[in-house]
Amino acid sequence: MKVCIPTGTNEGLKARVYGHFGSAPYFTLVDIEGKTVEVIDNGNQAHAHGQCHPIASLQGREVEAVVTGGMGLRAVQMFHDARIKVFRAETGTVEDVVREIAGDRLKEITLDDACGHHGGCR
């Protein structure tokens, strides 16, 4: 499974999970089975609320799940429509998240759990 985790730094497995998907400086992509790590810049981090295009940021990378501290309703809907699961992990490192998702211990974010605005998650 290939997982995308928004991070504040480009430190690979040691990077910390960023609080909100769309405004993260980086996306750390981890192929859990293949044990590979790729870090990409989020060129859209300064978007206006509701104007994030998360699928475009990950296009062509075959991501199956996203793990984040929070995500707006529109972005959650886009991922659901693309059949990409969205999970919540508010703290920890990418390495911690990989362990949690591999152990099936993360809660999936539903439309009811989405953030109302940047930093305003339920």
What pLDDT does 44 receive?
61
Sketch out the chain's domains with CATH numbers.
2-113 (3.30.420.130)
Per the prediction, the chain carries an average pLDDT of 83
In the chain, alpha helices (H): 54-58, 73-81, 94-102
The token pair at 64 is 């199956």
Digit-coded pLDDT (tens) for 109-119:
888 877 765 44
What pLDDT does 117 receive?
52
Digit-coded pLDDT (tens) for 23-64:
889 999 999 988 899 999 887 654 444 445 556 778 788 999
The token pair at 107 is 């809660």
Digit-coded pLDDT (tens) for 54-94:
567 787 889 999 998 878 888 888 899 999 999 998 779 99
Distance CA 104, CA 62 (A): 20
